[in-house]
DNA sequence: GTTGCAATTGATAATGAGAATCATTATAGT
DNA sequence: ACTATAATGATTCTCATTATCAATTGCAAC
């Protein structure tokens, strides 16, 4: 259900941008929809086997990024990870494993998010900067690395 | 003064790790000490001209990272920026320009930092994760891009 | 259902950030 | 001053990612 709704939302966005939704791209969206955090092209490729060649994964992620369907996440040297954009999944933050680099999404409850936004707004006022987004990253050891 | 103290602190740390402090490396530390935020190897190289070749910059930054003298910062595809480690500069956060990618350091006052730490601790408890570090990034447009 | 256009493909070559190489040089300890 | 070995600097290599190109395909219009 949520998955099908996801595909419909993505279809609509891509159509608005006059971008085609091919089978390979649909497969990519499904894989990102099932992921528990940002995934690199290599992660996605190993998960999907030969369904979508690596070159198509890179290219489609780039097209999706331009269309605002995915967001890049940078936490490892030389590797970019992608996740579905927040308008599709909701605002969230990241846990980053300091050992292996895996990134996990976390949603925090409204009370904490409100507090965090207040902090961000106050910082913005202090340095005359209008925040358009914010990201809280918490570094530690993931379950596999503990 | 602060600069000289910085060099002394770095010297001590490198000596502990049996790493040599060459003139090129001293120049790099001085440049990082003057920087207002994380800098890439290319940034540092263009700033330093021929004083330190690009290959030496990459290599020294890597050595410094292993020794805990600098920390990497990832906010742009395919580019790593480095800044002095927090034990040298103090805990701080980053403003990232969504247009040009420049990263600026910001320190926030103790009251806000305390609030932020409480949020991080509570999130960590919620997801059974012991935070070792946290980073708040605020995205917007830098003064040049406004 | 058919057609046309241009987006997209997939394998491969090219690119750029960063790592490795090697003969020579320089640091730091004695 | 001597010595061991880390570090150098220019160049080559590696890897994640982008560009290329002839062939294929998605999708809107008819």
pLDDT digits (tens, 9 = 90+) for A61-108: 999 999 999 999 999 999 999 999 999 999 999 999 888 888 999 988
Partners of residue A65 in chain B, C-beta under 8 Å: none
Structure tokens at A76: 């490892």
The answer to whether A80 faces chain B, any CB pair under 8 Å, is: yes
Residue-wise pLDDT for B124-140, tens only, equals 888 888 888 899 999 98
Task: Give the pLDDT mean for B48-59.
Answer: 94
Using alpha carbons only, what angle is made at residue A80 by residues A4 and B77, rounded to the nearest 5 degrees? 125
Q: Is the pLDDT of residue A1 over 70?
A: no
Between chains, do A119 and B136 touch, taking CB under 8 Å as contact?
yes
pLDDT of residue A130: 83
In a 13 Å sphere around the CA of A114, the CA atoms on its Cβ side amount to 3
What CATH number was assigned to the domain covering residues A1-90?
A: 1.10.10.10
Between chains, do A123 and B140 touch, taking CB under 8 Å as contact?
no
pLDDT of residue B2: 44
pLDDT of residue B126: 86
The answer to whether B48 faces chain A, any CB pair under 8 Å, is: no
Closest chain B residue to A127, measured at CA = B106
Task: Give the pLDDT mean for B87-100.
Answer: 89
Task: Give the pLDDT mean for B33-56.
Answer: 94
> What is the Cα–Cα distance from A132 to B68, expressed in whole angstroms?
32
The answer to whether A72 faces chain B, any CB pair under 8 Å, is: yes
Q: What percent of chain B has pLDDT over 90?
A: 73
Q: How confident is the model at residue B67 (pLDDT cuts 50, 70, 90)?
A: very high
Q: What percent of chain A has pLDDT over 90?
A: 76
- Name the pairing type of β-strands A103-106 and B39-40: unpaired
Mean pLDDT across chain A? 91
Sorted by sequence, the CB contacts under 8 Å of residue A29 that are 6+ apart come out as A6, A7, A10, A64, A69, A84
Sorted by sequence, the CB contacts under 8 Å of residue B141 that are 6+ apart come out as A130, A132, B97, B98, B99
pLDDT of residue B88: 94
Task: Give the pLDDT mean for A28-36.
Answer: 95
User: In this structure, which topology does domain A91-146 adopt according to CATH?
Assistant: Dna Ligase; domain 1 (3.30.1490)
Sorted by sequence, the CB contacts under 8 Å of residue B5 that are 6+ apart come out as none
In a 13 Å sphere around the CA of B37, the CA atoms on its Cβ side amount to 18
Domain boundaries, chain A: 1-90, 91-146
Mean pLDDT across chain B? 91
pLDDT of residue A144: 80
Q: Tell me, yes or no, if the two domains B1-90 and B91-146 fold the same way.
A: no
């Amino acid at each position: 259900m949520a998955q099908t709704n996801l595909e419909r939302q993505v279809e609509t966005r891509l159509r608005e941008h006059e971008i085609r939704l091919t089978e390979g791209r649909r497969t990519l969206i499904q894989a990102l929809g099932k992921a528990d955090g940002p995934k690199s092209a290599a992660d996605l490729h190993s998960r999907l086997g030969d369904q979508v060649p690596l070159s198509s994964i890179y290219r489609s992620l780039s097209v999706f990024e331009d269309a605002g369907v995915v967001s890049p996440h940078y936490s490892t040297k030389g590797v970019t990870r992608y996740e579905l954009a927040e308008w599709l999944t909701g605002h969230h933050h990241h846990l980053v494993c300091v050992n292996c680099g895996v990134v996990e999404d976390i949603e925090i409850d409204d009370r904490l998010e409100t507090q965090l936004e207040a902090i961000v707004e106050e910082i913005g006022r202090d340095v005359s900067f209008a925040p358009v987004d914010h990201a809280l990253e918490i570094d530690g050891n993931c379950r596999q690395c503990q």
